[in-house]
Amino acid sequence: MSVLDVTVFPHDFAWGAATAAYQIEGGWDVDGRGPSVWDTFCHAKGGVFEDHTGDVACNSYQLWEEDLKCIQQLGLTHYRLSISWSRLLPDGTTNHVNPKGVAYYNKVIDDLIACNVKPMITLYHMDLPQALQDLGGWSSTEIADIFESYARFCFKTFGDRVKLWITLNEPYVCAKLGHEDGTFAPGIKDPGISVYLAGHNMLRAHTKAWHTYNTHFRPLQAGQVSLALNSDWAEPSDPGCPKDAAATERYKDFTLGWFACPVFCTGDYPESMRARIESRSLDLGYKQGSRLPRFSKDEPSPLGTADFFALNYYTSRKVIDLNGGSKKSELSFVGDQGAEGVVDPSWPICGVHWLAVVPDGLRKLLKYIKDAYTSLPVYITENGFSQMGPVQIEDADRCRFYQDTLQEVGKAVSQDGVNVKGYFAWSLLDNFEWSHGYSVRFGLFHVDFSTPELKRTSYRSGREYAAVISKHRSQT
């Protein structure tokens, strides 16, 4: 295995790790926090592995100092965390601010800065306040203005110290798994309709928040705002088959393009997406207007509402054409897309079944983003390797994964000219992995969930990541 050349990374490269509030904080009903859709989804039982919940999780709400020790042990320059919207604003609105929530995040931010670690803060990482879901959630038009008020409150309260903001994490996942498949909170199964409405209102919310920051906060605070988009790298299953090649372009458009095109390219959805959805509505006799909403001329455009490209990358797929398949007779996102991503049998799987290990897919995706979307700086805001079954503290496979992945990122920088500004490993800690509960572990630190102390212990991958960071900082 060749040694990683750290000198290819810029001197001010952000070395980070990422977490999310519901996945680590616990303290679900203490100190005035309101319930989120994930509290409701977990407590309803049946949607999560062995009915696990985030009620306690890593208990970071009470054990923040332990997390800070882990951050310092790694030598991170940056730490990405999310704010629990309902911890700050229990009913989701600024009518009722929870001072204990404000105090918690103030302490986290101040402690990070005192340790010379820059916070990157995500405003929304899957955990919508239940009070807002009761009003229609992301399917309601009003949610965009409510989110803008929440964002404004956060910019005003924390923006003097926080210079990197993510409005929304993975709107694709929230829309598709939460409103189409029903496998994520809020558990809505409304094929082919709610998925696009939720996605649209998330883009409207992001747009309003970005414009608010740009107008009212950027002049004094001088920070940057974006949204974190997840994407696989995708290639045709049969490169010689024109149908698979066309399906691959649709797959990219319906995943990354759905959100990247409005923000970075045209201010609207990909043309292929609108054309496919309209034509399938016609074929299936759907007559209740366009399923893919249009952006109103009366609202600010999403175009240009990102100061950097935030990318969450985990895996790659080979794409096969699905036109004429079994999904054709009913409304559905997959039917509209007319494409399916499959795992190449030659790719190793790490832990969870969907996670094929394809480090060079990240390099290809970074180049694709530069060529197709933007030359803005890119932060890789999530990337990681999962473990299941018996705990392996000496996680050699994960160590190799990080080595290989960082080499591919280095090639994207040095050979492809991609302006990669930072890399955030998912995750700092083993945590509540959504519908997988605690059965899947992504941490650089192991958390012993079997004891109330929830002891954090560094995996070998954590020690090796720390060594990479240390080497880079000493050489640049």
**Per-residue pLDDT tens digits for 310-362:** 999 999 999 999 986 544 579 999 999 999 999 999 999 999 999 999 999 99
Q: How long a stretch of residues is the chain?
A: 476
| Percent of the chain with pLDDT strictly greater than 90 | 97
Query: How much is the average pLDDT of 62-77?
Result: 98
Number of structural domains the chain divides into: 1
- Kindly report the CA angle at 366 between 406 and 138, in degrees rounded to 5? 110
- pLDDT given for residue 460 in this prediction: 98
Question: 80 in a domain, yes or no?
Answer: yes
Catalytic-residue membership of 382: yes
Question: 1 in a domain, yes or no?
Answer: no
With cut-offs at 50, 70 and 90, classify the pLDDT of residue 75: very high
**Which residue of the set 170, 382, 408, 433 is catalytic?**
382
- pLDDT given for residue 326 in this prediction: 47
Question: 390 in a domain, yes or no?
Answer: yes
- pLDDT given for residue 238 in this prediction: 97
- pLDDT given for residue 328 in this prediction: 55
Classified as helix, coil or strand, 327 is helix
**Which residue segment(s) compose the domain that 395 sits in?**
14-475
- pLDDT given for residue 325 in this prediction: 57
- pLDDT given for residue 327 in this prediction: 47
Find where tokens 């001010």 sit. Answer: 12
**Residue-averaged pLDDT of the chain:** 97
Question: 138 in a domain, yes or no?
Answer: yes
The type of residue at 148 is E
- pLDDT given for residue 3 in this prediction: 83
Which of 196, 202, 198 is CA-nearest to residue 186? 198
For the chain, the maximum distance between any two Cα atoms, rounded to a whole number of angstroms, is 64
pLDDT in tens, 103-156: 999 999 999 999 999 999 999 999 999 999 999 999 999 999 999 999 999 999
Question: 74 in a domain, yes or no?
Answer: yes
Predicted confidence (pLDDT) at residue 476 exceeds the cutoff of 80: no
Query: How much is the average pLDDT of 41-45?
Result: 97
- Kindly report the CA angle at 330 between 325 and 334, in degrees rounded to 5? 60
Q: How far apart are the first and last CA of the chain?
A: 23
Question: 76 in a domain, yes or no?
Answer: yes
Q: Say which CATH number the domain at 183 has.
A: 3.20.20.80
Query: How much is the average pLDDT of 261-283?
Result: 97
pLDDT in tens, 58-69: 999 999 999 999
Please, how many CA atoms are within 13 Å of residue 123, restricted to the half-sphere of its CB?
30
Question: 7 in a domain, yes or no?
Answer: no
pLDDT in tens, 363-383: 999 999 999 999 999 999 999
Predicted confidence (pLDDT) at residue 463 exceeds the cutoff of 70: yes
Predicted confidence (pLDDT) at residue 1 exceeds the cutoff of 90: no
Beta carbons within 8 Å of 58's beta carbon, 6+ residues apart: 23, 24, 25, 26, 67, 429, 430, 431, 447, 454, 456
Predicted confidence (pLDDT) at residue 78 exceeds the cutoff of 80: yes
pLDDT in tens, 389-447: 999 999 999 999 999 999 999 999 999 999 999 999 999 999 999 999 999 999 999 99
Q: What is the DSSP string of 405-453?
A: HHHHHHHHHHTT---EEEEEEE-SB----GGGTTSSB--SEEE-TTSTT
Question: 387 in a domain, yes or no?
Answer: yes
Classified as helix, coil or strand, 342 is strand
| Percent of the chain with pLDDT strictly greater than 70 | 99
